[in-house]
Structure 1
Amino acid sequence: MTTAIESGFARQLKHWRTLRRVSQLDLAIRADTTQRHLSYLEQGRSRPGRTMVVRLAESLDLSLRERNGLLLAAGYAPVFPESDLDTAELAPALEALTAILDGHLPYPALIARPYGVLLAANAAFDLLTEGAAPWLLEPPVNVLRLALHPDGLAARVLNLPEWGRHVTEALRSRVARSPDPALDALIAELEGYLPQTDPGQDHLGFAVPLRLRGNEDELRLITTITSFATAVDITLAELQLEAFLPANEQTARVLRERAALRSGSDKSCRSEGPAGPLA
Structure 2
Amino acid sequence: MSQLDLSIEAGVSARHLSFVETGRSRPSPELILRLAEQLDLPLAARNTVLLAGGYAPAYSTHDLTDPELDPVRAAVRQILDAHSPYPALLVDKHWHLVEANPAVALFTAGADPRLLSPPVNVLRLSLHPDGMAPRILNLPQWRAHLLSRLRQQAVTSNDPILYDLHEELRGYPGDDAHETPISTAVSRIVVPLRYRHDGREMSFLSTTTLFGTPLDVTVAGLAVEAFFPADPATTASLQALAGPGAAHRP
Is TM-score (shorter-chain normalized) higher than 0.5?
yes
CA distance in 2, matches of 1:84, 1:214: 35
Distance (Å, rounded) in 1 between the aligned partners of 2:231 and 2:134:
22
User: Paired residue for 2:158, among 173, 179, 186?
Assistant: 179
Counterpart for residue 132 of structure 2: 153
Matches within 5 A, 1:1-279: 22-197=1-176, 208-260=191-243, 263=245
Structure 1 pair 194–115 and aligned structure 2 pair: CA distance change class (3 A): farther
Contact 2:203–2:231, Cα closer than 8 Å, also in 1: yes
Question: TM-score when scaled to structure 2?
Answer: 0.90
Amino-acid identity (%): 48
Is the Cα contact below 8 Å between 1:117 and 1:140 reproduced in 2?
yes
Query: Which amino acid is the alignment partner of residue 222 of structure 1?
Result: L
SS of residue paired to 1:107: coil
Range with bigger deviation, 225-234 or 91-100: 225-234
**What CA distance in whole angstroms lies between the structure 2 residues aligned with 1:127 and 1:27?**
47
- Aligned equivalents of 2:95 and 2:65: distance in 1? 20
Q: What CA distance in whole angstroms lies between the structure 2 residues aligned with 1:243 and 1:140?
A: 20
Tell me the secondary structure at the aligned position of residue 54 of structure 2: coil
Q: Could you tell me how far apart the structure 2 residues matched to 1:162 and 1:43 are?
A: 45
Residue 205 of structure 1: how far off its partner (Å): 9.8
Residue 118 of structure 1: how far off its partner (Å): 0.5
What amino acid sits opposite 1:122 in the alignment?
Answer: N
Measure how far apart 1:206 and its partner are.
Answer: 11
What do residues 215-245 of structure 1 show as CA deviations (whole Å, max 9, x unaligned)? 2331001111121131101011101110001
Question: What amino acid is aligned across from residue 231 of structure 1 in structure 2?
Answer: P
Contact 1:161 1:194 in 2 (8 A): no
Per-residue deviation at 1:174?
A: 1.3
- SS for the counterpart of 1:57 is helix
Tell me the distance in 2 between the aligned counterparts of 1:215 and 1:227: 32
Classify the secondary structure of the residue corresponding to 2:238: helix
Normalising by structure 1, report the TM-score: 0.81
**How many residues in Structure 1 have an aligned counterpart in Structure 2?**
239
SS of the aligned residue for 1:218 comes to strand
1:56 partner amino acid: L
Write the distance in 2 (CA, Å) between the matches of 1:74 and 1:246: 49
Determine if contact 1:159/1:211 at 8 Å carries over to the other structure: yes
3-state SS in 2 of match to 1:46: coil
Report the Cα offset of residue 176 of structure 1.
Answer: 2.3
| Distance of 1:156 and 1:206 partners within structure 2 | 22
Letter in 2 for 1:91: D
| Structure 2 unmatched ranges of 5 or more | none
Distance in 1 (CA, whole Å) between partners of 2:48 and 2:150 is: 22
Question: 1: distance between equivalents of 2:147 and 2:9?
Answer: 32
SS at match of 2:149: helix
Is the 1:41–1:47 contact (alpha carbons within 8 Å) kept by the matching residues of 2?
Answer: yes
C-alpha RMSD of matched pairs (Å): 2.1
Task: Compute the displacement of 1:195 (Å).
Answer: 2.4
- Three-state SS of the structure 2 residue aligned to 1:53 is helix
